[in-house]
Amino acid sequence: MTIRTRFAPSPTGLLHVGNIRAALHNWLWARKNGGQFWLRIDDTDAERSEERFVDAIRADLAWLGLSPDGEERQSARFDRYEARFAALRDAGRIYPAYETAQELDLKRKIAAGRGLPPIYDRAALALGDADRAALEADGVPPHWRFKLDHDTPIEWDDLIRGHQKFDAATMSDPVIRRADGSWLYMLPSVIDDAEMGITHVVRGEDHVSNTALQLQMFAAMGVKAPAFAHEALLVGSEGKLSKRLGSLGVAAFRDAGIEPEAVRALLARLGTSDPIEPIADAALLIASMDFARFGRAPARFDDAELAGLNAKIVHALDYDMVAARLPAGMGRAEWDAVRPNLKTVAEAADWWAVIDGDVPAVADPADHDFLAEAARVASEIDWAADPWHALTAALKASSGRSGKALFLPLRRALTGRDHGPDMAALLPLIGRERAVARLGGMGSSNRP
């Protein structure tokens, strides 16, 4: 059996971090098993679906490195839904119902007032042919419900949540088609999963009750259902479901300078017993994918954790992987020198300006004579070997300074900053001419 998973977003908006996590886990499971990962665009809602969101979904998956092996669109499969709908209707598993939204809401309120669960009472099943004809003659079009089998318990072994059991008699017959003929999510998804050969569905735990209903639809069509894995939902760092997580997506990550490898490394293991590590190699994440390691507690998403992970990923990025994003003229030596101090690749531009540009004067007046001496020494040392250690050794001997008193004034004068990359790596890149000018610009002859 070829393992086949799918990611099925609706193109009514941009992907958010929860969508991305589900897509990633489906992709990882398919890749681990040598299977296929499909993108299915659930665009049955013609009024809300937009092509720009389809394009954005594809672009987001590409940025994350989650390349689908194929793509389907529900809007191209309406003939398949009609055929399955007709067969299920003829078999008595789909029936028309005529209550308005207001009437259904009133029924729910009455049930709640009596302390009963808000389950549809199946009143539409009691209508005869004449009753239905009269309603439709009065201009009342039907919506359509799937008739659950109350005599068969719904059970499955969830790959994350373990054994699940539902009593169909405690659930409402789900509406699968609106009165205007448009489709709701439930039945088309089942038809697609069956006909696309989907073997595993990985999605959020908010779909557990949907799965219970859909299992009866698979059975009614006489097809084998996929295996299901319902993962815990993401919560914010404060431990609560956050509206922000519903809008946090690829655009936000890119604007913050987050690498796709960092997003993958965090979301692949968030909510599992595996440690979250700065793993840039997708093959390692694929190898460790195991539903047995997923927990049922809410998975906590923390911006600070992602930022820290991103910095570690950046520190390991080879020059060839980032060259196209670096300032013109910045080469491998400069990248290797500054990357241990970066949080994002974009910050490399700041250090390139330090290496190749103008540095604001930063010096304590008490250090002016010391810096004047540093400029003289810098002009005389051998720059072909290790100029930083040659410079500091000579200044230590001549000034008697050591530690912070020796190193900090030099760093400030040469870079305009108190902290940064190793000066032994940075100074040769700054070069003799710029270094002497920066140190001399702070010296006693240049005091204001």
pLDDT above 70 covers what percent of the chain? Answer: 98
Mean pLDDT score across all residues of the chain: 94
Answer whether residue 151 shows pLDDT above 90: yes
Domain boundaries 358-446, corresponding CATH code: 1.10.10
Q: Quick one: pLDDT at residue 117? A: 87
Whose tokens are 């919506």? That residue is: 143
pTM: 0.91
The answer to which of 18-32, 241-255, 361-375 has the lowest mean pLDDT is: 241-255
Task: Give the pLDDT confidence of 205-235 residue by residue, as tens digits.
Answer: 999 999 999 999 999 999 999 999 999 999 9
Mean pLDDT for the stretch of residues 56-62: 97
Position 157 pLDDT exceeds 90: yes
417 HSE (CA, 13 A, CB side):
14
Q: Which CATH superfamily is domain 1-72+232-316 in?
A: HUPs (3.40.50.620)
**Rounded to the nearest 5 degrees, what angle is found at the Cα of 58, between the Cα atoms of 302 and 17?**
15
Q: Is the pLDDT of residue 304 over 60?
A: yes
Q: What percent of the chain has pLDDT over 90?
A: 90
Query: Phi and psi at residue 323, in whole multiples of 5°?
Result: -55, -40
Same fold, 1-72+232-316 and 358-446: no
Spell out the domain ranges in the chain: 1-72+232-316, 80-177, 319-355, 358-446
Question: Which residue has tokens 């700054």?
Answer: 430
**Whether the predicted pLDDT of 124 surpasses 80:** yes
In the annotated binding site for ATP, the residues are 243
pLDDT value at 362 more than 90: no
What is the DSSP pairing of strand 299-300 with strand 227-231? unpaired
* CA pair distance 189, 196, nearest whole angstrom: 10
pLDDT at 111: 86
Q: Which amino acid is at 29?
A: W
Task: State pLDDT tens for residues 247-277.
Answer: 889 999 999 999 999 999 999 999 999 999 9
Confidence at residue 239, expressed as pLDDT on a 0 to 100 scale: 72
Q: Is pLDDT larger for residue 227 or for residue 108?
A: 227
Q: Residues comprising the binding site?
A: 243
* 3-class SS of residue 70: strand
Q: In this predicted model, what pLDDT tens digit does every residue of 425-437 receive, in sequence order?
A: 999 999 999 999 9
User: Binning pLDDT at 50, 70 and 90, where does residue 318 land?
Assistant: very high
Is residue 446 very low, low, confident or very high in pLDDT (cuts 50, 70, 90)?
A: very low
Q: What's the confidence (pLDDT) of residue 444?
A: 47
pLDDT tens-digit profile of 60-85?
A: 999 999 999 999 999 999 999 999 99
pLDDT in tens, 399-425: 999 999 999 999 999 999 999 999 999
Predicted local distance difference test score (pLDDT) of residue 214: 98
Q: What is the mean pLDDT of residues 307-325?
A: 97
Cα 328 to Cα 332, 348, 350: the distances in Å are: 12, 11, 13
Name the pLDDT band for 350 (thresholds 50, 70, 90).
very high
And the tokens for 412?
């400030």
CA dist., res. 176 & res. 145, Å (int)? 6
Q: Evaluate whether 30 touches 67 at the Cβ level (below 8 Å).
A: no
Average pLDDT over residues 328-332: 97
Average pLDDT over residues 343-350: 97
What local confidence, expressed as pLDDT, does residue 443 receive? Answer: 53
Which amino acid type is present at position 346?
Answer: A
Tell me which of 238 and 101 has the higher pLDDT. Answer: 101
CATH architecture of 80-177: Alpha-Beta Complex (3.90)
Per-residue pLDDT for 447 more than 70? no
